[in-house]
Amino acid sequence: MARRTAFLYDDRMSHHVLSDSHPMRPIRLKYTYDLLQGYGAFDAENSRLVSPRFATENEAMSYHTPEYIEAVRALGSGDSSMNPAAHNFGPGDNPPYEGMYDAAMLSTGSAVQAAEMLISDEVDAAFSISGGLHHAMPNYAYGFCVFNDPVIAIKRFLAEGMRVAYVDIDCHHGDGVQHAFYDTGAVLTISLHESGAYLFPGTGFPQETGAGLGRGYSVNVPLYPYTTDEVYLHAFREVVPRLLEAFQPDALVTQLGIDSHYLDPITHMALTVQGFAEAVAEFAKLSPAKWLALGGGGYDLHAVARAWTLAYGVMSEQEFGSEIPESYSTAYDVASLFDPAEVNVQDQVRKDALAFADASVQAIHRIIYPAHGLQGI
């Protein structure tokens, strides 16, 4: 039987605007939904479209402070008595905007609802595209992220006594999630990302391995700018499958940011959507009993729609043809689901990227694998 899979979305998630010049454009979620609808992705018997609910304040408080939640509410309704800078809001990455509280609560509620559908065994996999906001911190906004839905969803699984593996393939380090679970062995966090030497937030080095009982449960795979599919998948396969097999999670949470795409305007990696989909297929091969996928970064809007359509296809075991359905191609002038081919990167840069990835892999084999009874190569 094909994997029972839910897709959580409705248009309330895609209409807010952070600011006119902000790269985070929620309308990309509607593009993704439109493309999936064009392919008839929700017609299959094992595939369900679910309209998400808002998070409760208690759910938000499982990670965020009451003062911060109150600040988000006040700033989102234009309360000028609140100092935005006290919680890292202001012009730039984290502008307060109208409707911010509702948008953040809906995105978080969607992730928690998806987790609950998995806990109650209604589905085997769920994709909450509006979330994956992995930078948000307990008391401040960070890196376009207001509430940290990955952390809050993981805490929902932990409340059931489950062990959780979190794998973050966004181009940026999943620092907020790492921070939340740095000292516990109940959550294994793995983040593959463009090195913090070149990109926000400047963290995510192999030496960040966790603390106390969490030592060995925080895994970081920094990669070089212009890392292409081949190098990326090599690093992924050298690190992720064996750690997940050793850890044996009850639930797998994957953050599927696609700002590692070669067209992405704010990062420097060079993945194609088909390379990205191969990484998602690696998760599927591990046959997770409960698989929660979250969205994440992605600033080339149609690359986001194409990549997440492919991801949902992998999750729900559907194949979509390369020709974009007419409803979408007419509206948005996009012709093919796939990118042309592997990105053209100079040979020397390609070699440098491979050497960089291998250094990260070797560091993980040396300093992380022993904590899991594994031997590196």
Residues that bind Zn ion (CB under 5 A): 170-172, 257, 259, 297
CB of 144 to Zn ion, least distance (A): 8
Nearest CB to Zn ion, comparing residues 134 and 365 = 134
- Residue with the CB atom nearest Zn ion in the bound state: 297
The answer to whether 357 and 239 are in contact (CB under 8 A) is no
Cis amide bond preceding 288, omega within 30: no
Nearest CB to Zn ion, comparing residues 174 and 214 = 174
Which of the 8 DSSP states describes residue 270? Answer: B
Question: For residues 81 and 303, what is the distance between their CA atoms, to the nearest angstrom?
Answer: 40
Rounded alpha-carbon distances, angstroms, from residue 377 to 212, 366, 374: 27, 9, 10
At 123, the amino acid letter reads V
Nearest CB to Zn ion, comparing residues 173 and 350 = 173
Rounded alpha-carbon distances, angstroms, from residue 364 to 214, 276, 375: 15, 22, 10
DSSP assignment of 307-371 equals: HHHHHHHHHTT----SBPPHHHHHHH---BSS-SSS----HHHHHHHHHHHHHHHHHHHHHTGGG
> Looking at 16, 64, 134, 135, which residue is catalytic?
135
CB of 270 to Zn ion, least distance (A): 15
CB of 23 to Zn ion, least distance (A): 10
CB of 150 to Zn ion, least distance (A): 12
Place of tokens 């009993």: 289
The answer to whether 171 and 269 are in contact (CB under 8 A) is yes
Taking the alpha carbons at both ends of the chain, their separation in whole angstroms is 37
CB of 162 to Zn ion, least distance (A): 26
Place of tokens 């040396």: 366
Nearest CB to Zn ion, comparing residues 39 and 236 = 236
268 assigned to active site: no
Nearest CB to Zn ion, comparing residues 92 and 212 = 92
CA-nearest of 228, 230, 283 to 261 is 228
CB of 59 to Zn ion, least distance (A): 24
Nearest CB to Zn ion, comparing residues 256 and 368 = 256
Tell me which residues are annotated as active site: 135
